[in-house]
Structure 1
Amino acid sequence: MKRLVRGVNLKFCPKCGKLMIPRREKDKIVLICPQCKNTIEVTHSVEVGYRVKHEVEEEKRTKMAIVTGTERKLTEEERQLLEDYYKVFLETYMEAEETSSEEGSE
């Protein structure tokens, strides 16, 4: 018995009517009924619609990196350099703002 569900061919057991489940046996795939253990060899057209999935334990699929670091304090020289850079940045920014506001008013 076959039914078409969302474009996938599903096979049901001819003996008991349960959905057949794909299993890999040696180098071929067969459909096995979970209730009566009836087996059907899979043809290529049916094989395309079925996918064999394996559950992976959460420990194996979840990996976490633990990063540790130390907070570095700035030296007085580095702090002074940053302060100077910031002052230059503010002066340049203010000049650019004044220039753009003068051009906008013309």
Structure 2
Amino acid sequence: MAGAGAAGKCFGGSPEDINVVPVRESVNGDHPGGFYVLEQKIADNPGNYRHIDIRIECDGPPANAGSVSRLGDVNPVDRVPTEFTVSWTEQNGLQEQKKFMNRD
């Protein structure tokens, strides 16, 4: 899996190469329709992307959520988001949305 940050380096995020949330390379790779490509479009023309909202969906808490007090105690498979939805308003006022499925 490739990593995705809450804010990429080009947007003032962490300069480190860390995994904030796990993202499949098929979602975050440098290919047409990839999340990385959308990030680059936003970085290249930030004035055309306003009010950006990124929603991260997961299947829900693991079965043992009531007994877990640390993220490290949660099975890594249960920490993987299933979907990312990016919404924004374009410069011309049109609202846009793109979904990225993060499943097999």
Note whether the superposition's TM-score is higher than 0.5. no
User: Using CA pairs below 8 Å that are at least 6 residues apart, which structure has the higher relative contact order?
Assistant: 2
- Normalising by the residue count of structure 2, what TM-score does the alignment of the two structures yield? 0.24
Q: Which has the larger radius of gyration?
A: 1
- Normalising by the residue count of structure 1, what TM-score does the alignment of the two structures yield? 0.23
Higher strand share: 2
Higher helix share: 1
